[in-house]
A and B are shown apart, each in its own frame.
Chain A
């Protein structure tokens, strides 16, 4: 079994209005050292082992549904779990 952590964020070239609003409020709290905030989504998937390679499955899931490639990028981490 795998635990897959997926992170979806807006692409660098796409303005992130939420991130911009949070950056501004951090500045108003005097955190001047914060130069940028990007807001995204975090998803945890539990995937059973199958005969398909796990990266192939996760990439397919991400491009088909979890991320919209027009405006979003994704990355993920895979942990293999030992079922006791």
Chain B
């Protein structure tokens, strides 16, 4: 399976993401610059964390208009897995691939620490290697992770099981403790915590690896004969 790590000016978790896929997951991965014309050769698209375009105006607001995002939309429409982490989640929200928006953390401070996440839905291509209701430890590192959507959208997210991860103890004021959501089709996941920073016991835990393993398993089941 071949992953693309999209690199925007100001991305800073791209190297961690690359390491997680190549060295820990053992799959193919390439960096793809923000002005790339095509993502056709990749099976999964990863939008890493960081401060794309300096987070000018709003987090993700400028990145959303970069050339490669047209291709990310195409990949999402084609049903390929698209995973946005932290700033990547913010970009997916700005691009309208996921509903809602991010506000400054309630405390106004940048929060950087491991947090407990509850697996709300393990029936997605990103969470199938996890157990529903299970608690996993994944680090967060953000100043704007305070998720918001209107009541109608929240009701729909709940009704269609689009909330995949919630915080055990809400660190940022996020609505309904939301840490990660999928689109209706289930192939676009945005989450604030960083699974790529939890892929080895040396890093304090490897719970994040299961997320990437889920993607690979779903892909193999669909694409590899006798998988």
Contact of A68 among B65, B94, B146 (CB under 8 A): B94
Q: How many residues of B contact A (CB 8 A)?
A: 20
Which residues of chain B from 85 to 119 have any CB-CB distance to chain A below 8 Å in the complex? Answer: 93-94, 99-101, 103-108
B57 CB-CB contact with A under 8 Å:
yes
CB atoms of A70 and B146 under 8 A apart: no
CB atoms of A65 and B61 under 8 A apart: yes
CB atoms of B94 and A14 under 8 A apart: no
Which residues of chain B from 49 to 105 have any CB-CB distance to chain A below 8 Å in the complex? Answer: 57-58, 61, 65, 93-94, 99-101, 103-105
Q: How far is the CA of A71 from the CA of B58 in the complex (A)?
A: 11
Q: How far is the CA of A68 from the CA of B149 in the complex (A)?
A: 12
Q: How far is the CA of A21 from the CA of B104 in the complex (A)?
A: 12
CB atoms of B103 and A65 under 8 A apart: no
CB atoms of B103 and A14 under 8 A apart: yes
CB atoms of B108 and A17 under 8 A apart: yes
The answer to whether residues A68 and B108 also contact, given A14-B148, A17-B173 and a CB cut-off of 8 A, is: no
CB atoms of A65 and B148 under 8 A apart: no
The answer to whether residues A68 and B103 also contact, given A17-B173, A21-B108 and a CB cut-off of 8 A, is: no
The answer to whether residues A65 and B101 also contact, given A17-B146, A70-B148, A71-B148 and a CB cut-off of 8 A, is: no
Determine which residue in B65, B94, B146, B148 has the highest number of CB atoms from chain A within 10 A of its CB, and name it.
B148
Which residues of chain B from 126 to 162 have any CB-CB distance to chain A below 8 Å in the complex? Answer: 146, 148-150
Q: How far is the CA of A14 from the CA of B173 in the complex (A)?
A: 12
Which residues of chain B from 211 to 225 have any CB-CB distance to chain A below 8 Å in the complex? Answer: none
CB atoms of A68 and B148 under 8 A apart: no
A18 CB-CB contact with B under 8 Å:
yes
Q: How far is the CA of A15 from the CA of B58 in the complex (A)?
A: 16
A58 CB-CB contact with B under 8 Å:
no
Q: What is the distance, in angstroms, from B142's C-beta to the closest C-beta of chain A?
A: 14
A54 CB-CB contact with B under 8 Å:
no
The answer to whether residues A15 and B103 also contact, given A65-B65, A68-B58, A71-B148 and a CB cut-off of 8 A, is: yes
24 CB-based A-B contacts, threshold 8 Å = A10-B103, A14-B103, A14-B148, A15-B103, A15-B106, A15-B173, A17-B104, A17-B105, A17-B106, A17-B108, A17-B173, A18-B108, A21-B108, A65-B57, A66-B57, A68-B58, A68-B61, A68-B94, A68-B101, A70-B93, A70-B100, A70-B148, A71-B101, A71-B103
* Interface residue ranges, B against A (CB under 8 Å): 57-58, 61, 65, 93-94, 99-101, 103-108, 146, 148-150, 173
* Interface residue ranges, A against B (CB under 8 Å): 10, 13-15, 17-18, 21, 41, 65-66, 68, 70-71
